[in-house]
Every structure is written in C-alpha cells, then in structure tokens.
Amino acid sequence: MDNLVEDQKVVDLLTKLKHSNGGYPSDMLAARRRTYLRQMANVGLGIGIGTSLKATLKGGSNGSGVATTVTGKILEIALVAAITLEAGTAAYLYREKIAHVLSLFNSGATAHEVASPSTSNETNSSNPSLIEAVGTPFATLSPTPTGTLSATSSTAVAADNNQSSNNNDSANSDLNANATPNPGGNQGNQYGLTPKPDRNKDNNGGGDGNSQDNGGGGGGSNTGNGGSNSNKP
Amino acid sequence: MIKDGIALLKAAQKLDEEALTAIFDEFAPAIYKYTLRLCHDPIVADNIVGDVFAQLLEQFAAGKGPRTNLRSYLYQTAYHLVVDRSRYNQHTAPLEIAVNLNERGQSVPTQTQIEERVLMEALVSAMNSELTEDQRHVIILRFLEDFSLKETAEIIGKDVNNIKVIQNRGIAKLRKALGLRLEDE
C-alpha cells in the first residue's frame, strides 16, 4: 500500500519534470525550419516530375485519360521519327564505311570465281582435300609430285633398288603389296595403316647376314634373298 | 490551415507544403524536448530533429510513411536515432542541462522551489543512473511525453505487457532511489 502511494509520488514528480524541461531555442528552431523547407522544396520538385511521369505512363483512369492517350500517341510518333532520323543520319555519316563493307562482300564472291580456273596440279597442291581424295588412287599407278605420293614412290624405288633387277615381276608384286591400302571409304587419318616394308630385312640380309646364313643354301646372294622372301608366309 | 490530424496526414502524403510545414511547427519542439531528455545535448537533439523530419519527407516522397498515428511515428523515428547514436558513442551526459535551461530567467528561488529543485535533480539523477535503457525510454514516453501503453509499445517495438513490466520496475527503482527524500517530504 505504501509502495503504491510512493509510486504515485514518483509519477507526480515525473509529471512536474515534464513541464520543467527547456524548449527549442528560437534561433535553432528557425534554422532547422529553413533547412526543412529547403528539403521540402527539393523533394517536392523531384516528386512532381515523378508523379507526372507516372501518371503519363499509367494512362490515367480519370478524366484526363483522353488527353494522356493523345499525348502518348504524339510521344510515340515523335519517338519513331527520332529513331528514323537518327538511323538516316548514321547511315549518311558512315556511308563510306558501309559502302566499303558492301564491296567487301561482293569482292569476296568474285575472288572465288577467279581462283577456281587453274591446272589440276595446282588445284591438287592448293586444296588438301583434293589431294587425299584424288591422289590416293594413283599411288600404285604412277608417282605424282605431291608430298604423300612422292614418299610412296620413293619407297617403291628403294624397294625396287634393293630387289634384284632381274625379277621385275616380283619387284612389282612387292611394290603392290607395300602400297597404301584402300582406305575403304575412310578418307581421314591413315596413320598406322601403311604396312611396314620388308626392305629392312632385305637390307640386313642383303648386306651381311643373309649372305652368311643363306650361304649353305647355295646360289648367289641375290637369288638367295629372293628365295627367302618367297618362302615367307 | 489544416486542423484535423488525419486530413493533415493525408495532405502531407501528397507533399502539400502547408501540411508539411504545419507538421514541423507542431511536432518539432516536442521531438526536440524528447530527444534532449534522452541525449542531453542541445546540438545533438537539434540534429536528430532534422534527421527525423528529413526521413519523414523521404518516406512521403517514396509513397510510404505513417498512415494513422503521425506523432507515434515521429517519436519512433527519434527513438531509433537516439538509440543508434547512443550505441555509437555511448554518450551519457547528465540531464541537468535540460532542467537548467528552463530556469535561466528566474529570480531568486524560494525555499519550496529549492526543495523541489533538489528533488527534481535527484529524480533526474536516478533516471540517468539507476534505470536501464529500456526503463528510461518507457518512463519518459509514458510520463513525460504522455503516450499510452500501446503507443509506447509501438514506438519501442515491444509487447504491451512487456512495457507494463518495464514501467513498474522502473518506477520501483526510482522509488527506492528517492525513498529517503520522499519520506522526508
């Protein structure tokens, strides 16, 4: 009970304290009010523009709807006209570059036409796809000056040199056996498909070993080599 | 001149200059007083008043802001600004500045006035030293700014029952601190 009375006394004191505090100093209040009015003017200016734009975009459901529709159409026409004008101006300013680009497109097609009429060897050497497609079937028939075919022909010549000059038929059959096989429709990488030539063994045999090994067999070394080759499976 | 509070608020939401000026004239001194009680520094209180009304303008400009109780909204903004500042620099100046400001122009005080002044200073001292932060805010809002329990709860952001408990504990602390003096009276 005493606590309640004392609490009420505290509350009364607080109420007195409410009226005892100082007010806003007039000079500070005036300065603060000026600042506030300036902020208000700035915010009001920005908001005025913002609200008018928002109302224009919304189209308006009130009485000014017709006016805003007309305004919108006028703005749309003006926008299209401005875009057209800008595009025309840009085309006029960069007309030389545009003409240059167009001429590049046209001259590219002409250059292709001029380059096409050429000799078959030039075409083969300049176009790698044609080398693979055309050059491979000629490998067994006649050596051509292209890189791939010349390697094959040199192999054939070396084999031919290693073989006896008398056995031209057997040398030709070896040459056919050592030629690049038919790709079987695979015109891509033929690496590893080329059979190893037997000339390595021939060279070894033809130099020292074969003459000694085949010596018991009798006969010349060339014929002995030929016989050993023919006995291979 | 816009008199009605709701009409004033609606006009202010449309950024009516007259309404916004009327709001400042009506609430700026009270906000200053409240802020001065909490931060004890006239310049800081003045800055907080400026921040409160600048935020109000920003809220109105963004289409937000108070819808019903403008006064609670302004005090709530001031409360948060004061709390932020107190957390920032832990400023604890005595409240005597606020008390003395009112007594500059007075002549020689009587005996009763002196006793009352001593009691007031003891009360202010107890408020500053004995009460917790929440208790001080609740006591000031409830008894110095005349907010209801519900409004105080809204401003501080707590439940009404919680505000009641905080208030009772705060008054009990003040009673204990002023116990001897109150008994003498």
Task: Count CB neighbours of A129 within 10 A.
Answer: 8
pLDDT band at B167 (very low <50, low <70, confident <90, very high): very high
**B57 close contact with A: CB closer than 8 A:** yes
How many Cα neighbours within 13 Å face the side chain of A189? 2
Q: What pLDDT, on the 0 to 100 scale, is given for residue A227?
A: 40
Which residue does chain B place closest to A44, by CA atoms?
B15
Q: What pLDDT, on the 0 to 100 scale, is given for residue A48?
A: 55
Angle between helix axes B17-39 and B42-61 (nearest 10 degrees) is 140
pLDDT digits (tens, 9 = 90+) for A172-202: 444 455 556 666 666 666 677 777 777 655 5
pLDDT band at B54 (very low <50, low <70, confident <90, very high): very high
Q: What pLDDT, on the 0 to 100 scale, is given for residue A32?
A: 92
pLDDT at A138 over 70: no
pLDDT band at B180 (very low <50, low <70, confident <90, very high): low
Is residue B182 within 8 A of residue A6, CB to CB? The reply is yes
- The tokens for B111 are 């005996």
**A20 close contact with B: CB closer than 8 A:** yes
Please tell me which residue, A120 or B57, carries the higher pLDDT value: B57
Q: What pLDDT, on the 0 to 100 scale, is given for residue A185?
A: 64
Q: Which residues contact B32 (CB under 8 A, 6 or more apart)?
A: A23, A24, A29, B45, B46, B49
How close is the nearest chain A Cα to the Cα of B106, in Å?
12
pLDDT digits (tens, 9 = 90+) for A58-70: 554 444 454 556 7
- The tokens for B62 are 């963004």
Q: What pLDDT, on the 0 to 100 scale, is given for residue A206?
A: 44
Q: What pLDDT, on the 0 to 100 scale, is given for residue A51?
A: 55
pLDDT band at A49 (very low <50, low <70, confident <90, very high): low
**A35 close contact with B: CB closer than 8 A:** yes
Q: What b-and-e string marks burial along B87-117, b requiring 16 or more CB atoms within 10 Å of the CB? A: eeeeeeeebeebbeeeeeeeeeeeeeeeebe
Q: What pLDDT, on the 0 to 100 scale, is given for residue A58?
A: 53
Pairwise CB contact (< 8 Å): B123 & A40: no
Domains contained in chain B, CATH given: 1-93 (1.10.1740.10), 95-185 (1.10.10.10)
Q: Distance between CA atoms of A209 and A141, rounded to whole angstroms?
A: 34
Please tell me which residue, B143 or A158, carries the higher pLDDT value: B143
Three-state secondary structure string covering chain A: CHHHHHHHHHHHHHHHHHHHCCCCCHHHHHHHHHHHHHHHHHHHHHHHHHHHHHHHHHCCCCCCHHHHHHHHHHHHHHHHHHHHHHHHHHHHHCHHHHHHHHHHHHHHHHHHHHHCCCCHHHHHHHCHHHHHHHHHHHHCCCCCCCHHHHHHHHHHHHHHHHCCCCCHHHHHHHHHHHCCCCCCCCCCCCCCCCCCCCHHHHHHHHHCHHHHHHHHHCCCHHHHHHHHHHHCC
Q: Distance between CA atoms of B41 and B47, rounded to whole angstroms?
A: 10
* Mean pLDDT of all residues in B91-95: 48
Q: What pLDDT, on the 0 to 100 scale, is given for residue A67?
A: 52
What ipTM is given for this predicted complex?
0.76
Q: What b-and-e string marks burial along A204-213, b requiring 16 or more CB atoms within 10 Å of the CB? A: ebbeeebeee
pLDDT digits (tens, 9 = 90+) for A56-99: 555 544 444 545 567 778 889 999 999 999 999 999 999 888 99
Pairwise CB contact (< 8 Å): B42 & A28: yes
Task: Count CB neighbours of A146 within 10 A.
Answer: 20
Q: What pLDDT, on the 0 to 100 scale, is given for residue A154?
A: 42
pLDDT at B4 over 80: no
pLDDT at A146 over 90: no
pLDDT band at A163 (very low <50, low <70, confident <90, very high): very low
Is residue A182 within 8 A of residue A175, CB to CB? The reply is no
pLDDT band at B119 (very low <50, low <70, confident <90, very high): confident
Q: What pLDDT, on the 0 to 100 scale, is given for residue A137?
A: 45
Q: Distance between CA atoms of A66 and A74, rounded to whole angstroms?
A: 12
User: Which of A21, A40, A46 shows the shortest C-beta gap to B20?
Assistant: A40
pLDDT band at B147 (very low <50, low <70, confident <90, very high): very high
Distance of CA A3 to the CA centre of its chain: 88
Q: Distance between CA atoms of B37 and B146, rounded to whole angstroms?
A: 14
**A45 close contact with B: CB closer than 8 A:** no
**A24 close contact with B: CB closer than 8 A:** yes
Pairwise CB contact (< 8 Å): A43 & B15: yes
Q: Could you tell me the residue ranges of all domains in chain A?
A: 123-207
pLDDT at B29 over 60: yes
Pairwise CB contact (< 8 Å): B57 & A23: no
Q: Is A198 exposed, middle or buried (0-12, 13-18, 19+ CB in 10 A)?
A: middle
Mean model confidence pLDDT for chain B? 82
How many Cα neighbours within 13 Å face the side chain of B91? 19
pTM here is: 0.50
**Whole-number CA gyration radius for chain B:** 18
Task: Count CB neighbours of B154 within 10 A.
Answer: 18
Helix H or strand E segment including B162: helix B160-177
pLDDT at A165 over 50: no
Q: Which residues contact B18 (CB under 8 A, 6 or more apart)?
A: B1, B2, B11
